[in-house]
Structure 1
Amino acid sequence: MSAANDKARFLIVDDHPLFREALHSAVRMAYPDVDTVEARSIAEALEILAGPKPFELALLDLSMPDVHGFDGLLQLRTHHPRLPVVVVSGHEEPKVISEALSYGAAGFIPKSVRKSDLAQAIRTVMDGAIYVPETYKPATLDAESADRAEMVRRLATLTPQQLRVLQMLRQGLLNKQIAFELQVGETTVKAHVSEILRKLNVYSRTQAVIEVAKLDNPDMFREQSGF
């Protein structure tokens, strides 16, 4: 934790006001002197994290409006690999928890837990441990799950710029359009695409888009109410 004259800061990333307030309350219960900052989208979170003041922890809802599936977690982990990111989600299935941890989450807290338990979970992560619910039991990986885990591992090797290029490929943008958006030359974009294909072990940009899309599971991330 930071010294008294330089308070620690937590980032709360959630698009629901009630959930953000509940997280604020839990954080204050665990660490009364910590400053909390809110972000209502992944884009806003990345903009805040790019600022001069560091953060000690990020609390992230998986169901964010500007990303699909685990994309938000992947972006935070890629751009800020040293920042502990704890997923706080209404989805408590073992498969979701396992995938979140495989993306590098420092913990997984169900939104159904009591605020006192949430506060204790935050303390656990801040003490350097990975928090998971007591009821969590890792599922045995089948072939499909193993393939997903391997793709997650490969995605984690992409640089922030390569990840941005991949996201634009998924949007169907051409090299010329990507170059314009990133303010770089087309040759640079082609180099990024080649490196992305190499790291993902695929042979074309179409195959890259298809394989990464398999990680999305819209049904898994439908909005849920209640904390």
Structure 2
Amino acid sequence: MACRIIIADDHPLFREGLLRNVQRLLPAAHIEEAGDLDSVLALLEGHEVPDTLILDLRFPGLTGMSQLVALRERLPRTTLIVVSMVDDPELISQVMAAGFDGFIGKNIAPEEIGQAILAIREGEVLVRYEPSGLLPLDPLPAALTTRQLEVLRLIAQGKSNKEIARALDISPFTVRIHVSSLLRALNVPSRTAAAVKYSAAL
């Protein structure tokens, strides 16, 4: 039976590139995609347990290490791999301590990412990334709602309030309320500062 692999990342271009990379290396694999944590959990309900779950840390719905621990407990036989821009050694250590099998930085070459995935699937416990030199910032507050994280992610992509409203099918007025509450929650003075905090947090 073909192995089942879930690729969970909210950036469509990276997710597509990773999917093609894994397909090339494991042509017989059955690969599914998810763009947020709810979609991952939906793929786990009532289905065959995945052979491998590849997960980004900067991910809608994923707000704390406790959720990574819960995934490990729920999927004891699944190979769990984080592929992320994170380069904070302490945070990476926490990921591995949560029981994940490997950590791969997004800033290494696609061929290296693919080979690292294969090695981890074969049982090697692997941490592979290139430090970016960026200073780590404070983590995002765990109390942010899923909707606030969605708004924050779109702010980080440079979207205007009108564009965010269209993307989330809500009114611009509601977006303004979310933005105001985000600035207070993050303790930052501007959208730009919120975007920087989001980009560096995970």
Q: TM-score range by the shorter chain?
A: 0.5 to 0.7
8 Å contact from structure 2 (residues 8, 53) kept in 1: yes
CA pair 99-28 structure 1, distance change in 2 beyond 3 A: same
1:222 aligns with 2:187: no
CA shift, 1:223, in A, is: 3.1
CA shift, 1:221, in A, is: 7.5
| Structure 1 CA distance for aligned equivalents of residues 55 and 83 of structure 2 | 6
TM score, norm. by length of structure 2: 0.62
Q: Pick from 83, 90, 98 the counterpart of residue 95 of structure 1.
A: 90
8 Å contact from structure 1 (residues 60, 73) kept in 2: no
**Identical-pair percentage:** 31
1:137-177: per-residue Cα shift (whole Å, max 9, x none)?
xxxxxxxxxxxxxxxxxxxxxxxxxxxxxx9xx79xxxxxx
CA shift, 1:134, in A, is: 6.9
Equivalent AA in structure 2 for residue 36 of structure 1: I
Alignment of 1:41-60 (within 5 A): 41-60=36-55
CA pair 104-221 structure 1, distance change in 2 beyond 3 A: farther
> Equivalent residue for 1:64?
59
Alignment of 1:110-125 (within 5 A): 110-125=105-120
Secondary structure of 1:59's match? strand
> Equivalent residue for 1:151?
none
Structure 1 gap segments, 5+ residues each: 1-5, 137-166, 172-217
1:31 aligns with 2:26: yes
Runs of 4+ in 1 over 3 A off after TM superposition: 218-221
| Structure 1 CA distance for aligned equivalents of residues 87 and 36 of structure 2 | 21
> Equivalent residue for 2:121?
126
CA pair 63-134 structure 1, distance change in 2 beyond 3 A: closer
8 Å contact from structure 1 (residues 62, 73) kept in 2: no
Equivalent AA in structure 2 for residue 95 of structure 1: E
Kindly name which structure, 1 or 2, has the bigger radius of gyration based on alpha carbons. Answer: 1
8 Å contact from structure 2 (residues 79, 100) kept in 1: yes
Q: Pick from 4, 7, 13 the counterpart of residue 2 of structure 2.
A: 7
CA shift, 1:95, in A, is: 1.4
| Structure 2 CA distance for aligned equivalents of residues 71 and 40 of structure 1 | 20
8 Å contact from structure 2 (residues 69, 98) kept in 1: yes
| Structure 2 CA distance for aligned equivalents of residues 34 and 115 of structure 1 | 18
CA pair 134-38 structure 1, distance change in 2 beyond 3 A: closer
CA pair 135-23 structure 1, distance change in 2 beyond 3 A: closer
Structure 2 gap segments, 5+ residues each: 132-141, 145-193
1:5-26: per-residue Cα shift (whole Å, max 9, x none)?
x211110111111121121022
CA shift, 1:61, in A, is: 0.4
TM score, norm. by length of structure 1: 0.55
Name the count of aligned residue pairs. 141
Secondary structure of 2:83's match? strand
